[in-house]
Amino acid sequence: MLITIVIIFSFDNASYALQINGMLLLKQKITVSLAANY
């Protein structure tokens, strides 16, 4: 968790927004795939 925060903060603002969006999309994909498996 802390490592992720440090990595995110190392980006500039534009990349920061893209990183957050990418993480949210990845989280949704993982949730969907887990739901499909059960």
d(CA 17, CA 25): 12
Residues 8 and 1 sit within 8 Å (Cβ to Cβ): no
Per-residue pLDDT at 7: 58
Domain residue spans of the chain: 2-37
d(CA 34, CA 19): 22
Per-residue pLDDT at 30: 82
Per-residue pLDDT at 2: 62
pLDDT tens-digit series, residues 1-38: 566 656 555 556 667 777 788 888 888 888 888 888 76
